[in-house]
């Protein structure tokens, strides 16, 4: 079959691929595009992972889309809620119609003479589909989808229990009353342990390197208050900026950081709060100044679908 030409091919219909398609449609409404997705579902990570308690580790105000701000009350959101957010975004912006499900990209060749990519995808029925495009955007994630990494443990063949990888969590797995060991101390283990403990007889976390955990509420009171008083878009800008600047400041050995540290021995957490408060003040002042200036602040409601014409003006 002759290759199909589109201006842009996006690989993957996860958080990134759907976001890229929506932005492309908003900013370049005349460009044609196709999203090639290996699986049969939208959502990538948030559709694939189904282990008990699966949720985001970072707050959704920074992980979510700037053009469709997160408005749910929980800043640390459950996996299915994030999956629905991605699906709803795709539907609302109409990019779901451009997804070719069951298309696993297997090669991409650049031709300098025609300045085009030739992208080949294998389809479920054993055949291939070919696309040409001027721009290739690879939003395929960072891990193997067909199998999570599982090291071979010596003596594993003698283990009589059940061995489970969270990437392929069996739907019917029953751990009630069982003694469970969770190997690892990363975000997945931290999520799994309390959820398994609700029904298991005993849960042990086996860790090589300890991780450090700061216990915070899942709801962000500041964000909720801002959302009530400001529009979701303005609240998003403020909250995302405060969190982003705070994290950046706490991780950056800036002179201010060093001074605080040396003078008062502040911990990074306290410093984050100081920077965040400072950033919040500056941003609020800037926003108030701009609101009283040239434009009236009436950002779009997140649920409103924008026509290409109106979004192109943004
Ligand atoms: C349990 C868990 C929690 C996480 N929490 C956070 C968090 O809180 N904050 C954070 O920043 N990150 C987090 N991550 C990382 C998370 O994967 C990313 O934040 C985000 O979901 C990545 O989106 P993505 O669209 O780039 O990739 P993915 O979600 O991985 O989606 C990639 C898509 O590309 C498709 N694809 C892959 N290869 C091909 C191919 N060859 N052809 C066609 N399609 C292909 C896949 O099927 C998939 O649909 C988490 C990851 C996990 C597993």
User: Is the Cβ atom of 82 under 6 angstroms away from ligand 1?
Assistant: no
Which residue CA neighbors atom 48 of ligand 1 most closely? 44
Q: Could you tell me if 94 and 17 lie in one domain?
A: yes
The residue range of the domain holding 65 is 4-138
Average the pLDDT over 224-228 and give the result: 74
Count of the separate structural domains present in the chain? 3
Q: Is 214 inside a domain boundary?
A: no
Q: State residue 239 phi and psi, 5-degree precision.
A: -65, -45
Q: Could you tell me if 165 and 259 lie in one domain?
A: no
Q: Could you tell me if 196 and 283 lie in one domain?
A: no
Q: Could you tell me if 254 and 199 lie in one domain?
A: no
Q: Could you tell me if 117 and 89 lie in one domain?
A: yes
> Is pLDDT above 60 for 219?
yes
Q: Is 151 inside a domain boundary?
A: no
User: Is the Cβ atom of 9 under 6 angstroms away from ligand 1?
Assistant: no
Do residues 76 and 59 make contact, with C-beta atoms less than 8 angstroms apart?
Answer: yes
pLDDT tens profile 29-47: 999 999 999 999 999 999 9
pLDDT of residue 265: 54
Q: Could you tell me if 65 and 104 lie in one domain?
A: yes
Beta strand 202-206 pairing with 103-111: unpaired
172 beta partners: none
> Is pLDDT above 90 for 53?
yes
74 beta partners: 219
pLDDT tens profile 126-168: 899 999 999 999 999 999 888 888 888 899 999 999 999 999 9
Q: Could you tell me if 22 and 47 lie in one domain?
A: yes
Q: Could you tell me if 131 and 252 lie in one domain?
A: no
The pTM assigned to this predicted structure is 0.79
pLDDT tens profile 274-300: 666 666 766 666 666 555 443 333 222
Q: Could you tell me if 41 and 112 lie in one domain?
A: yes
User: Is the Cβ atom of 302 under 6 angstroms away from ligand 1?
Assistant: no
pLDDT tens profile 66-121: 899 888 888 889 999 999 999 999 999 999 999 999 999 999 999 999 999 999 99
Q: Is 192 inside a domain boundary?
A: yes
Q: Report the Cα 287 to chain-centroid distance in Å.
A: 27
> Is pLDDT above 90 for 236?
no
User: Is the Cβ atom of 107 under 6 angstroms away from ligand 1?
Assistant: no
pLDDT of residue 300: 27
Q: Could you tell me if 8 and 131 lie in one domain?
A: yes
Q: Which atom of ligand 1 is nearest to the CA of 166?
A: 1
């Amino acid at each position: 079959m002759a290759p199909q030409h589109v201006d842009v091919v996006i690989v993957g219909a996860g958080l990134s691929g759907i976001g890229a398609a929506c932005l492309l449609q908003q900013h370049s409404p005349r460009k044609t595009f196709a999203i090639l997705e290996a699986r049969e579902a939208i959502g990538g990570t948030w559709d694939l992972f189904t282990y008990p308690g699966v949720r985001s580790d970072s707050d959704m105000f920074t992980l979510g889309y700037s053009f469709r701000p997160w408005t749910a009350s929980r800043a640390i959101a459950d996996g299915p809620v994030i999956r629905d957010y991605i699906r709803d975004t795709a539907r609302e912006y109409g990019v779901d119609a451009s997804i070719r499900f069951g298309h696993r990209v297997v090669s991409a060749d650049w031709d300098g003479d025609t300045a085009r990519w030739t992208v080949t995808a294998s389809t479920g029925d054993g055949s291939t589909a070919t696309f040409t495009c001027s721009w290739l955007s690879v939003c395929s994630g960072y891990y193997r989808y067909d199998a999570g990494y599982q090291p071979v443990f010596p003596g594993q063949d003698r283990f009589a229990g059940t061995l489970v990888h969270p990437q392929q969590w069996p739907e019917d797995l029953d751990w009630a009353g069982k003694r469970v060991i969770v190997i690892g101390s990363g975000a997945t283990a931290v999520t799994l342990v309390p959820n398994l403990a609700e029904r298991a007889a005993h849960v042990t976390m086996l860790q090589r390197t300890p991780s450090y955990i700061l216990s915070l509420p899942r709801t962000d009171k500041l964000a909720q208050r801002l959302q009530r008083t400001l529009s979701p878009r303005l609240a998003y800008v403020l909250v995302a900026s405060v969190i982003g600047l705070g994290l950046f400041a706490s991780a950056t050995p800036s002179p201010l950081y060093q001074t605080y540290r040396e003078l008062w021995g502040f911990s990074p957490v306290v410093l984050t709060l100081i920077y965040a408060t400072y950033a919040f003040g500056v941003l609020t002042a800037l926003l108030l100044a701009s609101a009283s200036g040239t434009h009236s602040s009436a950002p779009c409601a997140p649920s409103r679908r924008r026509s290409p014409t109106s979004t192109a003006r943004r």
